[in-house]
Chain A
Amino acid sequence: MRRLLAWFLLVVGLACGLTGAALLTVLAPPERIDVVERVQDPGVAVVTRPGLAELSGPDVRLRAEAPDGADVFVAVARADDADAWLDGARHTEVTAVTGELSEPRARTGTTGTGAAADPRRADVWLTSTTGRGSAELTWPTGADDDYRDGGGIVLFTATDGVAAAPGTVRLSWHAEGRAATHPAGTPLAVAGGVLVLLGGLGVLLSPRPARRPRSRRRA
């Protein structure tokens, strides 16, 4: 009975250890959370909801692409300033990231009416960059708490504030915390190792059951 239990521990331990190792290696989640949103009619700007920039990781990356090679403007602003700049103009807001970690999706909504103005003229942007056809910027989110006075931080993209905003917007975060590793991986690997050790010791130390003496066929 003791030997059977030892074998059981050994088998269960191996299963746990292999599962844990797999979760930590080949089944580990991707290093980045990438969301690509393609909007047919985004209005004159695409802006994220406050709090979304800090979804994960020490920074957030925004890339926007316009299909016709137009000048693309990407920026980071305090939420209240971006609202003041939009001033009711038609725009798309990225409100959340949903779905599975392996296939996250953006949830969006379009509101407002009318056009705005060339965003490159304004001084409300904390940082900004412009590119032909596409533009990208990375914003470190570590100090975003300092901008709570202004409603938090939002990511923003537009073209010239009158024509349609970039139709393809990619948001990317470095996965951190529960998004970076399977929490069960390490406990399973450790528990598996302990069980294999105990099981192995049990198998080695348990006396083998005595064999029955063979009956002599030939007397």
Chain B
Amino acid sequence: MTPRPTRHPSHRSSHRRPRALAALACAGVLAGCAQLPTASAPAPTGREPLVVQPAQAGRVVEAATAVLQAASDPATADPAALAARVSGPELDLRTAAHTIAAAGADPAPTGGADDLTAITSILPRDGDFPRWFATVTAPGPDQAPSLVVLRAADARSPYTVWATPTLLPGASLPTLAAPADGVAVVEPEEDTNLPASPAAIATRYGDVLTEGTTSASAGDFAPDAYRAGVETATAAEVASLQAAGGTFTQERSVLPGSVLAVRTRDGGALVVAAYTWSTTSAGPAGGRPGELDPALAALAGTDEALEATVTRQEVVVFSVPPGASGGGGDPEQVQVVAAQSGPVQVATG
């Protein structure tokens, strides 16, 4: 038996070498080929997003402005068409103005915006709905800028103009961060670095408007033109009714869900709040019905009444200085910087 000849190792490796080289070349070519990129999810920042981007805000305001301009004449305005881009106190006030104008009376000025050209925006950082943002408009014929507040109930609903309070004489808005940076939201019950929470400030000012100088919170607020006007009108009404033997009662409450606030650059807050203010003027028992103001008569649907309950919507903007609640020293007073109000309903008896 002859031994089987064994293959020489170098002979075997010489066979494998071309295969290895070919495999290496293939791998090299494959590695050198173009490849489909892979998508990667963006890393979260942990920061609340702007409610809308500045460009988005511009488009929203443009759409809302078009609807408001189409309804600029209260006599011909279509409240149903307005509802597409107007809501809340603004819709109530404009609907009332339409009713008054349609009846041939002159609606009283409400302090709403008379020019909707936006010169800057206040863009809160808030990822949740409902959302809101505001624009500051150019001064119109009334020579005063307004704060146009727009709100969206949910992601599927458009932003609607909710209020347009105009700056009061001599008042100015506090400094806020640039629109692209956004402003931090202050929750209604949050009082961090504030003399009181936005909700508390709204409630206290409502009390001041109703009770006047006898309110326990009267000292918390600096004098303002809106409060002076309300006090004067109320005093005149009370005096007139008392002289005739009648009575005057009033009630004011913060509109639920209406308190909005953002942090200002100095650490304070800009607060917006709306009120429902009802006044009941009643003539003397057994007396003759009194003649109603034409605008109120249009809302009431009658020219005379012995008793009239007028419901008004009020929107007030506060500049709240920084300062912890309960802190020492004499804190700065809260300043009302803008306001809007008007009758929306009249009930007679």
Instruction: Give me the interface of A with B, judged by CB distance under 8 Å.
Output: 19, 23, 28-29, 33, 49-52, 54-56, 78, 80-81, 84-85, 87, 96-101, 104, 116-117, 121-126, 144-145, 147-152, 161, 175-185, 187-188
- The answer to whether B42 and A152 have CB atoms under 8 Å apart is yes
Q: Which of A49, A98, A126 is in CB contact (< 8 Å) with B56? A: A126
Q: Given A80-B127, A117-B156, answer yes or no on A96-B32 (Cβ-Cβ < 8 Å).
A: no
Tier of interface size on chain B: 35 or more
- CB B178 to nearest CB in A, in angstroms, measures 14
- The answer to whether A151 and B42 have CB atoms under 8 Å apart is yes
Query: What is the CA–CA distance of A122 and B28 in the complex, to the nearest angstrom?
Result: 52
- CB B44 to nearest CB in A, in angstroms, measures 7
Query: What is the CA–CA distance of A116 and B155 in the complex, to the nearest angstrom?
Result: 11
- The answer to whether A178 and B50 have CB atoms under 8 Å apart is no
- The answer to whether B49 and A55 have CB atoms under 8 Å apart is no
Nearest CB in chain B to that of A55: its residue = B39
Nearest CB in chain B to that of A161: its residue = B156
- The answer to whether B48 and A149 have CB atoms under 8 Å apart is yes
- The answer to whether B32 and A188 have CB atoms under 8 Å apart is yes
Query: What is the CA–CA distance of A185 and B49 in the complex, to the nearest angstrom?
Result: 44
- CB B144 to nearest CB in A, in angstroms, measures 28
Answer whether residue B31 sits at the interface, using C-beta atoms and an 8 A cutoff: yes
- The answer to whether A150 and B49 have CB atoms under 8 Å apart is yes
Query: What is the CA–CA distance of A28 and B41 in the complex, to the nearest angstrom?
Result: 29
19 contacts between A and B (CB under 8 A): A28-B34, A55-B39, A78-B49, A97-B36, A99-B36, A101-B36, A104-B36, A117-B156, A121-B157, A121-B158, A123-B152, A125-B56, A148-B42, A148-B43, A150-B49, A150-B127, A151-B44, A179-B34, A183-B33
- CB B150 to nearest CB in A, in angstroms, measures 9
- The answer to whether B31 and A184 have CB atoms under 8 Å apart is yes
Q: Which of A28, A56, A148, A185 has the most CB of B within 10 A?
A: A148
Total residue contacts A-B, CB cutoff 8 A: 115
Nearest CB in chain B to that of A77: its residue = B155
Residues of A near B28 (CB, < 8 A) are 184
Nearest CB in chain B to that of A122: its residue = B156
- CB B63 to nearest CB in A, in angstroms, measures 8
Q: Given A97-B36, A179-B35, A184-B29, answer yes or no on A85-B42 (Cβ-Cβ < 8 Å).
A: no
Q: Given A117-B156, A122-B157, A181-B34, answer yes or no on A152-B41 (Cβ-Cβ < 8 Å).
A: yes
Q: Given A29-B34, A85-B156, A101-B35, answer yes or no on A123-B56 (Cβ-Cβ < 8 Å).
A: yes
Answer whether residue B45 sits at the interface, using C-beta atoms and an 8 A cutoff: yes
Residues of A near B45 (CB, < 8 A) are 148-149
Residues of B near A117 (CB, < 8 A) are 156
Q: Which of B31, B60, B155 has the most CB of A within 10 A?
A: B155
- The answer to whether B47 and A101 have CB atoms under 8 Å apart is no
- CB A144 to nearest CB in B, in angstroms, measures 8
Query: What is the CA–CA distance of A2 and B235 in the complex, to the nearest angstrom?
Result: 117
- The answer to whether A50 and B129 have CB atoms under 8 Å apart is no
Nearest CB in chain A to that of B60: its residue = A123
Residues of A near B154 (CB, < 8 A) are 84, 87
- CB B170 to nearest CB in A, in angstroms, measures 35
- CB B35 to nearest CB in A, in angstroms, measures 5
Answer whether residue B329 sits at the interface, using C-beta atoms and an 8 A cutoff: no
Q: Which of A23, A50, A56, A187 is in CB contact (< 8 Å) with B42? A: A50
- The answer to whether B41 and A85 have CB atoms under 8 Å apart is no
Q: Given A80-B127, A188-B32, answer yes or no on A123-B37 (Cβ-Cβ < 8 Å).
A: no
Q: A101-B34, A150-B50, A151-B49 are in contact. List 20 more A-B contacts (CB 8 A).
A: A23-B32, A49-B39, A55-B37, A80-B49, A84-B129, A84-B154, A97-B36, A99-B36, A121-B158, A122-B158, A147-B49, A150-B127, A161-B156, A177-B37, A178-B34, A179-B36, A179-B37, A182-B32, A183-B33, A184-B28
- The answer to whether B53 and A126 have CB atoms under 8 Å apart is yes
- CB B45 to nearest CB in A, in angstroms, measures 5
Residues of A near B214 (CB, < 8 A) are none
Residues of A near B52 (CB, < 8 A) are 123
Residues of B near A51 (CB, < 8 A) are 39-42
- CB A26 to nearest CB in B, in angstroms, measures 14
Nearest CB in chain A to that of B180: its residue = A146
Residues of B near A122 (CB, < 8 A) are 155-158
- CB B131 to nearest CB in A, in angstroms, measures 9
- CB B49 to nearest CB in A, in angstroms, measures 4
- The answer to whether A145 and B127 have CB atoms under 8 Å apart is no
- CB B241 to nearest CB in A, in angstroms, measures 47
Q: Given A50-B42, A121-B158, A123-B152, answer yes or no on A149-B35 (Cβ-Cβ < 8 Å).
A: no
